[in-house]
Structure 1
Amino acid sequence: MKIRTPDDPDAKGGLPMNRFAVTALAGCLSVAATGAQAGADLIMASSLPQVHFWVGKHMDLFADAIEERSHGDIAFTRFYAGELTSVGRELDALQGGAIDVAAPLLAPYHEGAFPLSDVTQLPTVGTSSVTQTKAFLALMDSKTELVDGKTFYDYEIAAKGIHAWPVGTTAAYAISFANKTPKSAADLKGMPLRAGSALHTIFLSELGATPVTMPSSASYEALSRGTVEGTILSIGDWRSYSLQDVLTYTVTGVAVGHWGSYLAISDTGWTGLSADEQKLWADTAREIALRNAELIEAQDTEVREAAAAKGSTFADLSTIAPDLKAAIETASTATWRRWVEQTEAAGHPGLATARLWAKLVQDQGGKLPEGVAAYLEKGA
């Protein structure tokens, strides 16, 4: 059985359900699913709208593929746009039994819960959604011990009562401005710029800007009102928040990292699947992650071309003022150092994680900012 919510494009007629009704329905479904046959009906929820590339181009693709390939033995009741869980509360919803599957689980918004997952946001050169998704899959698969015999997966995922796989990482995060065109490094001093994560805060502070932390969903209003004068975000992600209407100048040519997040299922949901169903799930998750990455990269190009046609400017790092270019490059290298040092100071294996990530990025043809390799080799 599959219940359609008003957010479902296939829903027809009927009265809209308010949030309380949806939540109550989800609770009933969760109780029913617990005693049902293996994989009968799993509650899948996203804090993001269907227009987001991690929902319409991942969550739905994954769910459709699993339902088809399991011949209906695994079915999903899907909820969108925060109906059941909000940004940064996906882990609570999984652990508390409110949902079975988070698509995606936005790890960087769970403060302190996923201390190593920000590693995908470290600045790189010549990387794409596809290459970084392959690197992220390799990171999750890696048997390299980071500390106390634990791998990356052991440290970040296994102890939390969930099972997880990467979604496609975003395309390169770029520095974009609203009605501002910085001509020198001095122009960035004190400028309020939106940061979406702790790592972005590090990067912006190294630039001399004033980081303002907020989710992307709040960016449009903040940019329109001048509360912030720019943001760090992948260009393809503009479409999800209508930012192509307010962002006018973007520096490209260096990736301020690639945001990585997870497709996650609770232990209860996972153990309710048979061994064959678990294999189907894992294989499909890997396949859809890479397909998602291809679609993300294509959307990045589409949004960039459409914005350029409307007058938005995209300036490659090699073409901007030398002192501004140097400031961005220096901040990129310093971000690696500060992330490692802060992560280590918090008691987590930052150096070992950064070294492993650097290798996996380079294995996929990506490059590190100048000075990063020497720093990692020398150690913190």
Structure 2
Amino acid sequence: MTFINRTFGLGLAAFGALAAPALAQNFTMSTGLGQPHMWTAWHMEPFAAAMEEKTGGEVTFTKFYGGELAGVGRSLDSLQTGVIDIASPLLAPYHEGRFPLSDVTQLPTYGTDSPMVTRAFQALLDSDVELADGKTFYEYEITDKNIRVWALGATGPYSISTTEKVLAEPADFTGTPLRAGSALHTIVLENLGATPVTLPGPQAYEALSRKTIDGIIISISDWPSYSIQELLRHSIVNLSIGHWESYLAISDQAWNEMSEENRKLFDETAREIALTNADKWVENGVSVQETSEADDGGSFVSINDLSQEMQDHIAEAGRQTWVDWIEKTEAAGHPARATARLYAELIQAEGGSLPEGVAEYLAE
């Protein structure tokens, strides 16, 4: 809910008193994540601080953490009912069926990093390319939900990491229980031959500790968010099992209560903080990997150093994942092929690459 305080300056002409701001607004900002998470510490917090500074205190925020007001998967309903004004972040993949196209950044790629994906996803949101029924990506995914959104800083590339088992050849995947954090990750793991175990991030530590799972698909820079850096020993890197992207979201009601100038500052700040957040994902990934190698015996093997058979197996799983996601989403009535084609163009323009065979499939 939004609290609006109007402070009227009581001018004393003799003393030339200064008038207070005509309209001060305090918005309720919520995250389902803990305060150490990269999207809390390095997106939500700096965004709020920057907006308060830029508006001279006209816009302030009351912040709630760890799902105190709106848990993971409840942000959209909470925005629409006025329980919160801003979700930072709104995790679209946890809102089953509500954002059918927003998983597109989780499709496997090569040579991508957080800043590249952040720019590509924001460009997807800004695109005027019509995908279906005369609607752009933003119009299809967002407009009818009574919210406004911007890209977060995308996570680092999702890698394959295990506690004890070394994944060196295709057969090593067979039946291996690995954590999937989304429906698209489930598709990837099935195509690799592993056994997907769907778990939210906060449950990963216990599952790895109890050996319920042998490993996980996750961004290395996100390990400290879930305290799993001391458990994981073997990682395959220099590929991307996609990047997790999602939204900074504000309700239309809260948006409309801001002045035009403050709305412009909100838009400007959202774009700026997303990119600084993306840089932090990169920085943290390097730091976590270096610490793991030095202190915990972590091993990080480039996919390029694996056998050709293993490289081909992972590449084919990546290609098939694009096909499976597109065809499954199209069968549900959504323009997945047009979305994937546009995203592929945007990510390639950033310097990323697609698994072999994907470009040919998209061109059909």
1:114 to 92, 96, 99: 99
Q: Which residue of 2 aligns with 1:287?
A: 272
1:87-117 deviation line (CA, Å, top 9, x unaligned): 1111111111111000000111111110000
Question: Is there any run of 5+ residues in structure 1 with no aligned partner, and where?
Answer: 1-29
1:222-272 deviation line (CA, Å, top 9, x unaligned): 011111111110000001011111111000111000100100001111111
Q: Which residue of 2 aligns with 1:351?
A: 337
Counterparts in 2 of 1:374 and 1:202: CA distance versus 1, 3 Å: same
Q: Which residue of 2 aligns with 1:367?
A: 353
Is the counterpart of residue 98 in structure 1 residue 108 in structure 2?
no
Counterparts in 2 of 1:184 and 1:31: CA distance versus 1, 3 Å: closer
| Amino acid in structure 2 at the alignment position of 1:196 | G
Q: Residues 39 and 273 of structure 1 are in contact (CA less than 8 Å); yes or no, is this contact kept in structure 2?
A: no
2:126 to 116, 141, 146: 141
| Amino acid in structure 2 at the alignment position of 1:191 | T
Counterparts in 2 of 1:225 and 1:340: CA distance versus 1, 3 Å: same
Q: Residues 176 and 249 of structure 1 are in contact (CA less than 8 Å); yes or no, is this contact kept in structure 2?
A: yes
Q: How many angstroms apart in 2 are the aligned matches of 1:31 and 1:44? A: 10
Counterparts in 2 of 1:31 and 1:107: CA distance versus 1, 3 Å: closer
Is the counterpart of residue 272 in structure 1 residue 260 in structure 2?
no
Q: How many angstroms apart in 2 are the aligned matches of 1:35 and 1:269? A: 16
Alignment of structure 1 residues 281-320 onto 2, 5 Å: 281-309=266-294, 310-320=296-306
Alignment of structure 1 residues 121-136 onto 2, 5 Å: 121-136=106-121
How big is the shift at 1:325? 2.1
| Amino acid in structure 2 at the alignment position of 1:222 | A
2:308 to 322, 328, 334: 322
Q: TM-score, normalised by structure 2?
A: 0.94
Q: Residues 39 and 269 of structure 1 are in contact (CA less than 8 Å); yes or no, is this contact kept in structure 2?
A: no
Greater C-alpha Rg: 2
Is the counterpart of residue 179 in structure 1 residue 201 in structure 2?
no
- Once structures 1 and 2 are overlaid, which stretch shifts more, 34-43 or 333-342? 34-43
Q: Residues 5 and 25 of structure 2 are in contact (CA less than 8 Å); yes or no, is this contact kept in structure 1?
A: no
Q: How many angstroms apart in 1 are the aligned matches of 2:206 and 2:163? A: 12
Q: How many angstroms apart in 2 are the aligned matches of 1:131 and 1:213? A: 27
| Amino acid in structure 2 at the alignment position of 1:90 | S
How big is the shift at 1:33? 4.1
Counterparts in 2 of 1:347 and 1:157: CA distance versus 1, 3 Å: same
Q: How many angstroms apart in 2 are the aligned matches of 1:173 and 1:274? A: 39
Q: Which residue of 1 aligns with 2:61?
A: 76
| Amino acid in structure 1 at the alignment position of 2:215 | G
Q: Residues 194 and 232 of structure 1 are in contact (CA less than 8 Å); yes or no, is this contact kept in structure 2?
A: yes
Is the counterpart of residue 214 in structure 1 residue 192 in structure 2?
no
How big is the shift at 1:137? 1.0
Q: Which residue of 2 aligns with 1:15?
A: none
Counterparts in 2 of 1:229 and 1:35: CA distance versus 1, 3 Å: farther
Q: Which residue of 1 aligns with 2:324?
A: 338
How big is the shift at 1:84? 1.1
Q: Residues 39 and 272 of structure 1 are in contact (CA less than 8 Å); yes or no, is this contact kept in structure 2?
A: no
Is the counterpart of residue 195 in structure 1 residue 180 in structure 2?
yes
How big is the shift at 1:34? 9.6
Is the counterpart of residue 59 in structure 1 residue 33 in structure 2?
no
Q: How many angstroms apart in 1 are the aligned matches of 2:95 and 2:161? A: 25
Q: How many angstroms apart in 2 are the aligned matches of 1:55 and 1:328? A: 32
| Amino acid in structure 1 at the alignment position of 2:167 | P
Alignment of structure 1 residues 25-36 onto 2, 5 Å: 30=1, 32-33=3-4
SS state of the match for residue 132, structure 1? helix
Q: Which residue of 2 aligns with 1:44?
A: 29
Q: How many angstroms apart in 1 are the aligned matches of 2:265 and 2:32? A: 25
Q: TM-score, normalised by structure 1?
A: 0.90
SS state of the match for residue 170, structure 1? coil
| Amino acid in structure 1 at the alignment position of 2:342 | L
Counterparts in 2 of 1:340 and 1:111: CA distance versus 1, 3 Å: same
User: Aligned Cα RMSD in Å?
Assistant: 1.4
Q: How many angstroms apart in 1 are the aligned matches of 2:65 and 2:117? A: 26
- Aligned pairs, number: 349
Q: Residues 57 and 292 of structure 1 are in contact (CA less than 8 Å); yes or no, is this contact kept in structure 2?
A: yes
SS state of the match for residue 41, structure 1? strand
| Amino acid in structure 2 at the alignment position of 1:361 | I
| Amino acid in structure 2 at the alignment position of 1:374 | E
| Amino acid in structure 1 at the alignment position of 2:346 | L
Q: Which residue of 1 aligns with 2:16?
A: none
SS state of the match for residue 145, structure 1? coil
Q: Residues 104 and 263 of structure 1 are in contact (CA less than 8 Å); yes or no, is this contact kept in structure 2?
A: yes
| Amino acid in structure 1 at the alignment position of 2:51 | I
Q: Residues 2 and 26 of structure 2 are in contact (CA less than 8 Å); yes or no, is this contact kept in structure 1?
A: no
